[in-house]
């Protein structure tokens, strides 16, 4: 029997690829950059399964280009705002994602960014490399204490709760705002619910974002929200770039209306080297690497492969973002 045909849109860790190779006729896009749109549209034609990344837009046009035999789309990420899930559901195609396996690694990064911003670690390292370190100084590179400070978590899903556990070790006071979640899911950490995002923004010394990108969260942190924050506050974003309005953030940082931003994700993404945010000393940007540990990326690749293979066999995906496709099946 012919093996199912699949396209993997970038080289992923071998643990996942190996599983796919055993069962499928697989083409892996070899480029360092994502396949250009037209290439992707051409490559999906006649496929049984697609393993894609958050850098690939999977929409109605692409699903139609693939054809009616397409059985599954497996996204190697927990976030799936790059996939038009409604379009996939309308075509009866299950979409997989990779929740859970990257929670702790992403929370590590959120906390690392928080600490790096608070204690100006990157500025300090740059200072030394630039040969500016001539003496100990009582006023050099003063930052903000993390211990005992107030952390505001916007979104209390898996990653938000994992950040809360880290913050508890630093004896932080932890506020959260999440209209969809209750704190009962965060055992052993004391959390203070905020009735509104405004209350959280006004009180927090550190604001860390842990929401998916949806129509509701697009530019959630814009000029108005930034104006509610303390002038000494630090904003950390490891969610999705467009949750923050980059222009408003630039103005707030430039005018000292907030103290610092530490961003793993940006809008646009990638952020061009000449982007105005990168001219600011109080803005730290890393290239969307919050889940980038060897172990976690391998776990994500395996999970994405397992979703893909289950879909090809006509089985329920272990992690499916649109389980309603199954209800519609006979
Ligand atoms: C995700 O999985 O959504 C992250 O942004 C990348 O790991």
240 is an active site residue: yes
Dihedral over Cα of 264, 267, 270, 272: its sign: negative
Per-residue exposure over 261-289, b if at least 16 CB sit within 10 Å of its own CB, e if not: bbbbbbbebebeeeeebeeeebbbbbebe
pLDDT at 187 over 60: no
130 burial level (CB within 10 Å; 0-12, 13-18, 19+):
exposed
Tell me which of 56, 77, 237 to substitute to probe ligand 1's pocket, judged by most ligand atoms within 8 Å of the beta carbon.
Answer: 77
pLDDT at 195: 81
Residue of 120, 161, 240, 299 marked active site: 240
Q: What is the mean pLDDT of residues 138-162?
A: 97
According to the model, what pLDDT value does residue 194 have? Answer: 82
262, 268, 269, 272: CA torsion to nearest 10: -90
Separation of alpha carbons 69 and 201, rounded Å: 48
pTM exceeds cut of 0.85? yes
Mean pLDDT value across the chain: 96
Flag whether pLDDT at 249 surpasses 70.
yes
Q: Kindly state the tokens that stand for 124.
A: 């300090």
Ligand 1 centre to CA of 70 (Å) is 24
In sequence order, the 6+-apart residues with CB closer than 8 A to the CB of 222 are 244, 245, 248
Q: Is the CB of 291 under 6 A from ligand 1?
A: yes
How far is it, in rounded angstroms, from Cα 243 to Cα 52? 22
Using alpha carbons, list the distances in angstroms from residue 199 to 152, 176, 240, 293, 307. Answer: 10, 10, 22, 35, 40
Give the Cα separation of 28 and 12 in Å (integer).
Answer: 9
**193 falls in which pLDDT band (50, 70, 90)?**
confident
**Structure-token pair, residue 272:** 């061009």
Dump pLDDT digits (tens) for 93-122.
999 999 999 999 999 999 999 999 999 999
269 is catalytic: yes
pLDDT for 1: 74
* Predicted pLDDT of residue 123: 97
Kindly report, residue by residue over 2-15, the tens digit of the pLDDT. 999 999 999 999 99
Whether residue 21 has pLDDT greater than 70? yes
> Which pLDDT score is estimated for 174?
96
- The H helix count followed by the E strand count for the chain is 12, 12
Query: In which band, very low, low, confident or very high, does the pLDDT at 330 lie, cut at 50, 70 and 90?
Result: low
């Amino acid at each position: 029997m012919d093996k199912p045909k699949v396209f993997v849109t970038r080289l992923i860790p071998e643990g996942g690829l190996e599983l796919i190779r055993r069962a499928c006729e697989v083409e892996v896009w070899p480029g360092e950059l994502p396949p250009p749109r037209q290439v992707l549209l051409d490559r999906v034609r006649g496929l049984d399964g697609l393993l894609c990344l958050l850098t690939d837009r999977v929409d109605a046009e692409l699903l139609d280009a693939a054809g009616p035999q397409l059985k599954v789309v497996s996204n190697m990420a927990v976030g799936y705002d790059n996939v038009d899930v409604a379009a996939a559901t309308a075509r009866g195609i299950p979409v997989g994602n990779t929740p859970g396996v990257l929670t702790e690694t992403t929370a590590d990064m959120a906390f690392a960014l928080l600490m790096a911003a608070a204690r100006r670690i990157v500025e300090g390292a740059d200072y030394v490399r630039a040969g500016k370190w001539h003496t100990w100084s009582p006023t050099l590179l003063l930052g903000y204490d993390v211990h005992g400070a107030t952390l505001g978590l916007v979104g209390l899903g898996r990653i938000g709760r994992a950040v809360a556990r880290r913050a508890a070790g630093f004896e932080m006071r932890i506020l959260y705002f999440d209209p969809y979640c209750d704190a009962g899911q965060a055992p052993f950490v004391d959390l203070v619910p905020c009735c509104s995002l405004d209350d959280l923004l006004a009180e927090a010394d550190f604001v860390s974002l842990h929401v998916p990108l949806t129509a509701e969260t697009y530019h959630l942190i814009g000029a108005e929200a930034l104006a509610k924050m303390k002038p000494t506050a630090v904003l950390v974003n490891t969610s999705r770039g467009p949750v923050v309005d980059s222009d408003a953030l630039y103005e707030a940082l430039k005018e000292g209306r907030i103290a610092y931003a530490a961003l793993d994700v940006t809008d646009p993404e990638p952020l061009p080297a000449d982007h105005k945010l990168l001219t600011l000393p109080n803005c730290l940007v890393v290239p969307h690497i919050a889940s980038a540990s060897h172990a976690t990326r391998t776990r994500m690749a395996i999970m994405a492969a397992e979703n893909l293979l289950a879909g090809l066999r006509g089985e329920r995906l272990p992690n499916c973002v649109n389980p309603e496709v199954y209800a519609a099946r006979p």
